[in-house]
Structure 1
Amino acid sequence: MTIIGGLLILAVVSCSPDATRKGTPDADVDGDTDAGDVSDVVNDVDGESDGDVPCGDLCPGLGVTGCVDGGIAECGQFDADACLEWSAPVPCEGGTRCDPDTVTCREPCGDFCAPFSIVILPDTQYYTSKQPNDADNTYRKQMQWVLDHRASDGIAFVVHEGDITNANTTSQWQIASDAHAMLDAAGMPYTVTTGNHDYLLSGVFGRSDSLFDTYFPASRFAANAWYGGSYGSSNINNYNFFSVGPMRFMVLSIEYSARKDVLCWADDLVASHPDHHVILVTHCYLTHGGGYSGGCPDPDYNAIGATGSAVWDELVSRHSNIFMVLSGHIGDSEYRVKTSNTGAPVHEMLVDYQFEGECTASSAASCTNHCRIGTYHGNGWMWQLIFDPRQNSIRASTFTVEEGNTEMFPQGQPAFFCSELFDPPDPDQTGGDWYASDPASPQHQYAFSYNFVDPPAVGIDSMGRTAFSDRTVNRLSAGDQFAPAVALSPAGAFVTVWEDDSSSTDGAGNFDIFMRGFAPGGCVAFSDAMVHADGAGHQQDPSIAMDAAGNFVVAWSDDTDDNGVYQIHARGFFADGTPRFTIAPVNSVATGQQTLPSVAMAPDGRFVIAWQDDRASDGNGQILMRGFSADGSERFTDRSVHDDALGARLRPRVGLDAAANIVVVWQDDSDGNGAFQIHARGFNADGTNRFARITVNSVADGQQLEPALGVASDGSFVVAWRDDADGGGNYRILARAFTAAGAGRIADFAVSAAGGQHRTPVLSVAPGGAFLVSWSDDSDGDGNYDIFARSYNNDGSDLRVQWTVNRVANGPQRFPGAAINDPGTQVFVWEDDGDDNGTYQILARGW
């Protein structure tokens, strides 16, 4: 800035990279004016260029003050080059820092240093089920306390942790609704969500049975600026905001034992609000001792949902801005702090006093049998978290609105009875010693530090973990869903296909082939869609394969005209689920029946389809195959896998190595004696012979059925099958490994344990050679199958010993699909009737 002839001259400094340093050619350390100085540019009033090179100003104007490195600095000319620059900042002291709005040293909380709080309501189920709907109801007293202390305590938000009701009845919901109406009338922000009891209908759990949305629909909250929205049309999963000055918070409430799609929604929601400190509320999370609850969902509910550890692994641990998790469900008071994947602290708290009963004895010491006995309902206990911006600390305070009530506490003095006081005379009485009797105990009153004044650190890190809990694959639940198969990408994304009878347009029992894509970790990548162009007729037996880029091909048996005769159809898709090509039919000869296709794909997209073919219509299937380029054009035409047409050949499986060389296995009774063996044959990428047909099973006695196949990048392969060598009718799963040339590499070995029935094996080999076997298992012989699995290193040693895949053991689980990749991601899909109602859904789980 210079004045010439009374005119104020301002130099406009560009924000180029050079604007952050002084001009050249020298640094004016000698104090002289050089040809490159700004003063020369200012004096160039004749308009001629003198070859000057201006320096750049580092601050906005002479005498301006600003915040620099937490202190206060002045803009001026502090050396001889006449450029503006900041002075050395004067540090702020006493815990203050420079406030950019006022350029003064102030406390970090500025104008918002007064404490504020949120109030937490533990399970209220017994206030709604054991007390009348009047002003003396403890639930209403809690709401009145909030309103009475809203101003004095700076109450910014109220949180309910679920189990609003005990039995999900209209009368109980009405009590809760009337209590919260007190907050509505006062404009007090709050959130509610479900506990397990809020889903019970005549004591039976049902996701769709809760009356929550009748009494707390999104429309009840939509007009409030603090209400953010919900997951879908239901308000059970909802998010809300509150702010205190520049401090911004999101309160995210998710359902009891959240389903995977809810966790995915929450994950996206938290990621889209990186400038908010997030408080997650879910009913069932921690348990006694501060560990994660493994009892949600309750095993008796036969429901799909996340345990406490799954909520941590699949949501909380991944985000730097989720700083607090609140839960109830378990009668206890617990606090612990964990470190997320990003290194940020997460403060996890459990509080639930629902089992506290009334005691009118003369002293608390005499209240030895007042926990979960008689008229217990919670005794008005609630919780307050007090945020102190000046200290960046949060204090937890437990108190009761029934203090002074002599019908609940000895002489009206509050105490906890589910504590060391509990000593029931009958050892069969239920109760517990869960926390200290003294409300002033550190279990009930404590504080911790957390920087909520500044915006949260931004960070999301899954640490490459792709495991996920049981989730439902099919979106439409009507009818049956059968015969799932899965393909897995190198990065962990996967696509599932299945037979689906949800459509009513073509009549019950006429199945379509559906598909759905998932990102690594089990969140939906693309929605479910019909694989074929229309839903006419009947489609069955889906098979899927994927290339290294995630593009995939689906093959199936198709009876579009519904005449009972099947052809093999196939369709190719890009990784995002958009169609690439259609091959209809795959088989060149249309006479007879063509069924049970199997498709395999090389990393570059070349693929081969094999199928069971009865073109002679004699009831004896033969195995044919056909090869295709990545774009769906033919590479080689239909050819027999075994060259002759003797006996019956059934249930082919095909695999490709990295060079598109081919292995086909099948169930073979070429001698027509009714006893099947497992055969295999190898082919070059062009369909010419590579190695001759071999018998896979070493022991020929009995029956060998249902072959499964996996091929590694180098062409080595593993075959598994269902084996009844002694002819006793009890099958187990055996396997054997081979070199790329078809020579035995690992002799026949038992995959499943002896005893019971073991059926429908599937096998997947990672490109590097590790392999995975899964099957339907009824080891205990009760007729209800579970999905078992076992994984191996390339040399046949155990990678993981046998385990149960499905979390819910009730009802039958059967017909798995499975896939493994080199990083070790494992994905399973299966038919599931966990609620034992005779209708099957498709479930998936990942490790």
Structure 2
Amino acid sequence: MSSPRHWLRAWVATEPGPRPARTPARARLKVESMEDRTVPSSLRGVVFDDENHSGTPDAGEGGHPGWTVFLDVNRNGVFDDAVETSTVTDAAGSYTFDTTNEVPAFVNSTTGEEYDLVGIVQPVGAGGRYMNTTPTLSYAIRNSDTEPPVERNFGAYLESFADAAVQPVGPEAAVNVATAGVQGRAAVAADALGNYVVVWSSLDNLTSTIRARLFYANGTPQDPSPAGEFDVGTSNRNAANNHPPLHVDMTADGRFVVAWSSYNSTTKTSSSFVRVFGADGSGGPAVTVSVGDATHTSTVRGVGVADDGRFAVLFKLGTAKRGGWQQTTYTLNVQRFQAGGALNGSAIQVTTQNLVNAVGSLAMDATGKFVVAWEDHVNGQHQVYAQRYDAAGKKLGTKLAFTAGSVLPTASVAMNASGQFVITYSTAETTSVARVFRADGTAAFAPVTVAGDAAVAIDGAGNVTFTWTYNRWSNSTPHGEIRVQRLSATGYLWEELIVNTTTQGAQSGSTVAATEAGKFVIVWEGYGPGDDSGIFMQQYQPA
């Protein structure tokens, strides 16, 4: 914003008379004070129909009329109508703000430069979803009196449900009933009939209550508890961590297993736990998977359950060296359990090498066979590995190995009841590779590149669903919106869609479960109906 300026007009008047040679004239300075002037600061742009998905307005592309554009003064990503200035795009999709008297969203304490944060309220769309090709929020430094108006353009196009091969079933819905605290780290699993369970962490200071809620295949809550949701367990955390690692899987008849980790402030290590539940939500006691002590720490990385109730938990085990926890080395291990929760043999050490981060994932089929996928850094390169196991915990075939990209990959694996499985791993900050395999471990088709650091599910027919967080901000804020994309059983990649219909605020941490007959449900955390920090879900069916 330009500051009011006092302009001075001055001139020299010489007195009449002889002009002695080289004699300076006697000058009298007259000063005229003019009115205060404020030079307007302005911000303008266009919300355009980005038909070619280029992110810039190109020739022949029209505008989106009637869209709301606002100045996000409090920088929360939400249009607060009562306190924030807004305008509506005209017939050409154009908008203009005079920001002269507006409160800036940010002031640089060093330079004094003022910034506005301008955003759009993106409509849902009819017959599809509007997909933004630019950030929906963008910072703009205020122009000076000698500069042209600052421009910020926003691109979006309408993606049809037909081109994505899926369509939502009903609106997005809140999962959690209680809204106190911060909800996060959701996980979801489904049975053969499409009924499903959602588990999540409700954080209050340094203690997290792990909660669950059951739903029928049509999305109606089963609510075995009068409160709707019910408690699974508690998890302590240290100041450096947020929600605890949390995983769930479900049998064909609706029984389910939840695994999580908890921090011990005395030993400064974590232990891993698991709990078995009936289809009605009745739960047995929590069972210890791996205990953290003075020299060991344990973190859950995955869980899988067979249809007979036997299950396995993948956990990261850290061992401190003489130099302390800064010298920790990690391995990935699998502990198998009987249906009732009793130990089924000793833990299986999956990785023999010492891993840097020990990020991994586990998935199991109906008979108890399972796959473990993990990442590692070998000889200066990022690698992803996977190993198949039979129901007795014996290795099947040789280890699968893939070279990843320049970023540390995050490996995920999903498996259907018949043993088909899919592995995804990030190859860059905004892309992942998906590899689909038959039950015998052979590739079903060539690898496919998808956007984002994707969570994944595979249904009984072999169709794969990916979901990830797409960054809607123009800075490095790691929150945004939830997206979904389908890969057919024959390897055809359909178009992606936005999942959340609440396009304000931040959404992140999505996960997915295949339900039945090509249907699936996506669950995420963030801003939505009834809660600005809740758990939300959206069901889908084939289009």
TM-score range, shorter chain: 0.5 to 0.7
Residues 388-409 of structure 1 deviation map (CA, whole Å, 9 limit, x = unaligned): xxxxxxxxxxxxxxxxxxxxxx
Q: Separation in 1 of the partners of 2:81 and 2:503?
A: 23
1:587 to 290, 294, 315: 290
Task: Give the letter aligned to residue 481 of structure 2.
Answer: D
Q: Separation in 2 of the partners of 1:695 and 1:810?
A: 41
Does the 8 A contact of 1:489 with 1:548 survive in 2? Answer: yes
Residues 413-460 of structure 1 deviation map (CA, whole Å, 9 limit, x = unaligned): xxxxxxxxxxxxxxxxxxxxxxxxxxxxxxxxxxxxxxxxxxxxxxxx
1:796 to 468, 475, 491: 491
Does the 8 A contact of 1:831 with 1:843 survive in 2? Answer: yes
2:219 to 522, 537, 562: 522
Counterpart residue number, 1:513: 210
- The answer to whether 1:663 aligns with 2:371 is yes
Task: Give the letter aligned to residue 480 of structure 2.
Answer: Y
Question: What SS is found at the alignment partner of 1:516?
Answer: strand
Counterpart residue number, 1:830: 524
Does the 8 A contact of 1:682 with 1:691 survive in 2? Answer: yes
Counterpart residue number, 2:348: 639
- The answer to whether 1:812 aligns with 2:509 is no
Q: Separation in 1 of the partners of 2:267 and 2:535?
A: 28
Task: Give the letter aligned to residue 332 of structure 2.
Answer: I
Question: What SS is found at the alignment partner of 1:501?
Answer: strand
Residues 284-333 of structure 1 deviation map (CA, whole Å, 9 limit, x = unaligned): xxxxxxxxxxxxxxx9699xxx9999xxxxxxxxxxxxxxxxxxxxxxxx
Task: Give the letter aligned to residue 469 of structure 2.
Answer: S
Residues 269-294 of structure 1 deviation map (CA, whole Å, 9 limit, x = unaligned): xxxxxxxxxxxxxxxxxxxxxxxxxx
Counterpart residue number, 2:274: 570
Residues 666-722 of structure 1 deviation map (CA, whole Å, 9 limit, x = unaligned): 111254x4x43211011111111112222134xx44235111111123322111122
In structure 2, the CA distance between the partners of 1:683 and 1:494, relative to structure 1 (3 Å rule), is same
Q: Separation in 2 of the partners of 1:657 and 1:638?
A: 19
The alpha-carbon deviation at position 536 of structure 1 amounts to 6.4
Q: Separation in 2 of the partners of 1:546 and 1:626?
A: 17
- The answer to whether 1:676 aligns with 2:369 is no
More strand by share: 2
In structure 2, the CA distance between the partners of 1:638 and 1:201, relative to structure 1 (3 Å rule), is closer
Does the 8 A contact of 1:696 with 1:719 survive in 2? Answer: no
Task: Give the letter aligned to residue 363 of structure 2.
Answer: G
Counterpart residue number, 1:648: 356
Q: Separation in 2 of the partners of 1:301 and 1:731?
A: 22
Structure with larger Rg:
1
Counterpart residue number, 2:180: 478
Q: Separation in 2 of the partners of 1:201 and 1:792?
A: 38
Q: Separation in 1 of the partners of 2:530 and 2:218?
A: 28
The alpha-carbon deviation at position 570 of structure 1 amounts to 0.5
Task: Give the letter aligned to residue 486 of structure 2.
Answer: S
The alpha-carbon deviation at position 470 of structure 1 amounts to 1.1
Does the 8 A contact of 2:407 with 2:427 survive in 1? Answer: yes
Counterpart residue number, 1:18: none
Question: Number of matched residues?
Answer: 372
Residues 781-829 of structure 1 deviation map (CA, whole Å, 9 limit, x = unaligned): 564421111122222224x531111111122211101011341221111
Q: Separation in 1 of the partners of 2:168 and 2:282?
A: 24
Residues 173-193 of structure 1 deviation map (CA, whole Å, 9 limit, x = unaligned): xxxxxxxxxxxxxxxxxxxxx
Task: Give the letter aligned to residue 486 of structure 1.
Answer: V
Question: What SS is found at the alignment partner of 1:580?
Answer: coil
Does the 8 A contact of 2:332 with 2:349 survive in 1? Answer: yes
Gaps of 5+ in 2: 1-78, 85-119, 128-166
Does the 8 A contact of 2:246 with 2:258 survive in 1? Answer: yes
Does the 8 A contact of 1:658 with 1:713 survive in 2? Answer: yes
1:693 to 399, 409, 420: 399
Aligned ranges 1:752-771 → 2 under 5 Å = 752=451, 758-759=452-453, 761-771=454-464
Q: Separation in 2 of the partners of 1:836 and 1:575?
A: 28
- The answer to whether 1:628 aligns with 2:337 is yes
Does the 8 A contact of 1:517 with 1:524 survive in 2? Answer: yes
Residues 177-211 of structure 1 deviation map (CA, whole Å, 9 limit, x = unaligned): xxxxxxxxxxxxxxxxxxxxxxx998489xxxxxx
The alignment yields a C-alpha RMSD, in angstroms, of: 3.2
More helix by share: 1
Counterpart residue number, 1:840: 533
- The answer to whether 1:733 aligns with 2:435 is no
Counterpart residue number, 1:744: 443
Counterpart residue number, 1:501: 203
The alpha-carbon deviation at position 742 of structure 1 amounts to 2.7
Q: Separation in 1 of the partners of 2:439 and 2:252?
A: 21
In structure 2, the CA distance between the partners of 1:201 and 1:558, relative to structure 1 (3 Å rule), is closer
Q: Separation in 1 of the partners of 2:385 and 2:438?
A: 15
Residues 63-121 of structure 1 deviation map (CA, whole Å, 9 limit, x = unaligned): xxxxxxxxxxxxxxxxxxxxxxxxxxxxxxxxxxxxxxxxxxxxxxxxxxxxxxxxxxx
- The answer to whether 1:722 aligns with 2:417 is no
Counterpart residue number, 1:613: 317
Question: What SS is found at the alignment partner of 2:222?
Answer: strand
Counterpart residue number, 1:549: 253
The alpha-carbon deviation at position 589 of structure 1 amounts to 7.1
Counterpart residue number, 1:777: 470
Q: Separation in 2 of the partners of 1:645 and 1:587?
A: 20
Residues 115-170 of structure 1 deviation map (CA, whole Å, 9 limit, x = unaligned): xxxxxxxxxxxxxxxxxxxxxxxxxxxxxxxxxxxxxxxxxxxxxxxxxxxxxxxx
Q: Which has the higher contact order (CA 8 A, sep 6+)?
A: 2
Q: Separation in 2 of the partners of 1:307 and 1:746?
A: 34
The alpha-carbon deviation at position 473 of structure 1 amounts to 1.3
The alpha-carbon deviation at position 841 of structure 1 amounts to 1.4
Task: Give the letter aligned to residue 200 of structure 2.
Answer: W
In structure 2, the CA distance between the partners of 1:701 and 1:844, relative to structure 1 (3 Å rule), is closer
In structure 2, the CA distance between the partners of 1:740 and 1:750, relative to structure 1 (3 Å rule), is same
Task: Give the letter aligned to residue 406 of structure 2.
Answer: G
Counterpart residue number, 1:120: none
Question: What SS is found at the alignment partner of 1:777?
Answer: strand
Gaps of 5+ in 1: 1-199, 206-298, 310-464, 503-507, 725-729, 753-757
Q: What TM-score does the superposition give when structure 2 sets the normalisation length?
A: 0.62
Q: Separation in 2 of the partners of 1:646 and 1:560?
A: 24
Q: Separation in 2 of the partners of 1:472 and 1:781?
A: 28
Aligned ranges 1:358-377 → 2 under 5 Å = none
Question: What SS is found at the alignment partner of 1:476?
Answer: coil
Does the 8 A contact of 1:777 with 1:788 survive in 2? Answer: yes
- The answer to whether 1:711 aligns with 2:415 is yes
The alpha-carbon deviation at position 631 of structure 1 amounts to 1.4
In structure 2, the CA distance between the partners of 1:650 and 1:601, relative to structure 1 (3 Å rule), is same
The alpha-carbon deviation at position 651 of structure 1 amounts to 1.8
Q: Separation in 2 of the partners of 1:201 and 1:833?
A: 14
Aligned ranges 1:53-132 → 2 under 5 Å = none
Does the 8 A contact of 2:471 with 2:480 survive in 1? Answer: yes
Counterpart residue number, 1:5: none
Q: Separation in 2 of the partners of 1:612 and 1:497?
A: 21
Q: Separation in 1 of the partners of 2:195 and 2:260?
A: 22
Residues 592-649 of structure 1 deviation map (CA, whole Å, 9 limit, x = unaligned): 211133101122222111011103453332110111122112223211112x133425
Q: Separation in 1 of the partners of 2:187 and 2:125?
A: 26
Q: What TM-score does the superposition give when structure 1 sets the normalisation length?
A: 0.41
Does the 8 A contact of 1:598 with 1:654 survive in 2? Answer: yes
Question: What SS is found at the alignment partner of 1:791?
Answer: strand
In structure 2, the CA distance between the partners of 1:480 and 1:686, relative to structure 1 (3 Å rule), is same
Q: Separation in 1 of the partners of 2:121 and 2:529?
A: 10
